[in-house]
Amino acid sequence: MKNADLHVFNRLFVFGLIAFVSLGCMKQDAQSPPNILFIMSDDHTAQAWGTYGSVLDSVVHAPHIAQLHEEGIQLMNAFATNSICAPSRAAILTGQYSHKNGVYTLVDTLDPALPTLPEMLRQAGYQTGLVGKWHLKSRPAGFDYYNVLPGQGRYFDPVLRDSSNWPEGRSYEGFSADVIAEQSLQWLRQREEDTPFMLMTHFKATHEPFNYPPRFDTLYQDVTMPEPSHLYNYYPEQSTRTFEGQVLEILGGRFEQNPGRYSAESFSLDGLDRRQARSKIYQKFVKDFLRSGAAIDQNIGRLLEYLDRQGLAENTMVIYTSDQGYFMGEHGLFDKRIMYEQSARMPVVIRWPGQVPAGATNRDLILNTDFAPTLLDVAGLPVPPSMQGRSFRAILSGQTPDDWREAFYYRYWMHQQHRPAHMGIRTERYKLIWFYGQPLRDVYGEPPTKPTWEFYDLERDPKEINNAYDDSRYREVIQRMKRQLLEHKDSLNDNDTGYPVMQPLLWDS
């Protein structure tokens, strides 16, 4: 089917949902489709939640995230298919990989004509709202109401834009997480009470520069943050990875050059040796990050309290997640993008009383492209063929389908020399990454890098310290995974036909 024909088909599919099920006149009772509260933050990685077995678990202050875990299910192996903000958000909305929805990088725009989760729910009778970070440039489509940050937005006195004041927007006094939560509550208070809703509340926190409200100034003040075992894993002396990455020293330089932006009066590394400097950078970074996360957690509590007070909790699915992970000093790094576990993993907790067992965990491989199909399924709607993800609703109740995925494909399109463009495949035990290093979707204007491979045995080396690509013991496994990588790439129609430079590289390196 040609792209134009497929586009028309998908649009007709959306409108056909009305014929499949009509929700507009249904009352909110135990038999109604559930409300959906989809809360997402930016970069709020699993290590900072206090529930994922991180070295930071003992110090993290996040009681409401812990509450959601106690009352719902935590997904241990959910992953972004392209671990960077805008592409991950587009994947969640469309159920598609970057090469299908057209949002490859931070500079791409989501086509408002694409069929999306909110549009499908709205056409079927749901009220749909979006408050907070959008980051996809176009006006949000498919929402009855939106009030979103322009671009990345700012932490203090943020500007938000709705349909009445686009594109100028208006300024709201206060810290962004507080403002976003309050505007979300305002929409909930004004909604039609007899109609199911989906509200997407998207916090700017914990994105760099990791700002936080003054009320958390003293949180962690007298605490020495525990360090990951590979904090002092220096490249290339003590690292077998094939690129430098976004090392903590880059962040330290930013702290020194612009301390006010990073919630500090001053910051200096003068007189410190290499190890001391990295330690000082890490301590400030992690404390600020967790303080920013504490503001998210507090506002999650406000939203949960509203659901309880209004008698909505029993028929509302609450999802809290992050658009991707983030390095918290592991490998000596910060930021995300790379297909290592800390970066690609999306922490996810879901509470749905009567449908999801309390205090449960699940280790199945779940992707950001699965959210849209799952929420359509939860609402009683069919999943359109344009979506590449799959509903994991059955998994939430402990019934993993026999044919559930055993591997997944990942691709990061942006390229810099210290963090090259790459693709890879991960199974339950193994991970193979090909850093092909070509600036196909040029954002930074940097030259290509020499293609390299990395391979990790996640059972023997869960921290991904030892690149075992040249280890003869894994020769057959690696060859099998190379074939799997190509098969997944082909099955997803990620064919690189528009990039002639890629053809001789597959797999000459």
Contact 98, 106 (CB under 8 A): no
Q: Computed from CA positions of residues 94, 97, 99, 103, in that sequence, does the dihedral angle turn out positive or negative?
A: positive
The helix (H) or strand (E) run that includes residue 311 is none
Residue 505: phi and psi, rounded to 5, are: -80, -20
Q: What is d(CA 388, CA 409) in angstroms, rounded to the nearest whole number?
A: 12
Instruction: Give the separation between CA 441 and CA 444, rounded to whole angstroms.
Output: 9
CA dist 57 to 60, 63, 290, Å?
5, 12, 11
- In 3D space, the residue among 81, 33, 65, 195 whose CA is nearest the CA of residue 129 turns out to be 195
The pLDDT value given to residue 390: 98
| Maximum distance among all Cα pairs of the chain, rounded to whole angstroms | 71
Which residue, 151, 154, 191, is CA-closest to 172? Answer: 154
C-beta separation of 225 from 56 below 8 A: yes
* 3-class secondary-structure state, position 425: strand
How do the pLDDT tens digits run along the chain, 509 residues long?
444 444 444 544 444 444 444 444 344 444 589 999 999 999 999 999 999 999 999 999 999 999 999 999 999 999 999 999 999 999 999 999 999 999 999 999 999 999 999 999 999 999 999 999 999 999 999 999 999 999 999 999 999 999 999 999 999 999 999 999 999 999 999 999 999 999 999 999 999 999 999 999 999 999 999 999 999 999 999 999 999 999 999 999 999 999 999 999 999 999 999 999 999 999 999 999 999 999 999 999 999 999 999 999 999 999 999 999 999 999 999 999 999 999 999 999 999 999 999 999 999 999 999 999 999 999 999 999 999 999 999 999 999 999 999 999 999 999 999 999 999 999 999 999 999 999 999 999 999 999 999 999 999 999 999 999 999 999 999 999 999 999 999 999 999 999 999 988 876 55
Backbone φ and ψ of 197, nearest 5°: -130, 155
Residue pair 307/318 in contact (Cβ under 8 Å)? The answer is yes
Query: What strands lie across the sheet with 452-457, from one edge to the other?
Result: 407-412, 422-427, 430-435, 452-457
**Alpha carbon of residue 175 to chain centroid:** 22
Sheet of strand 360-362, all strands in order from the earlier edge strand to the far edge: 170-171, 159-162, 145-148, 127-132, 197-202, 35-41, 316-322, 348-351, 73-75, 360-362
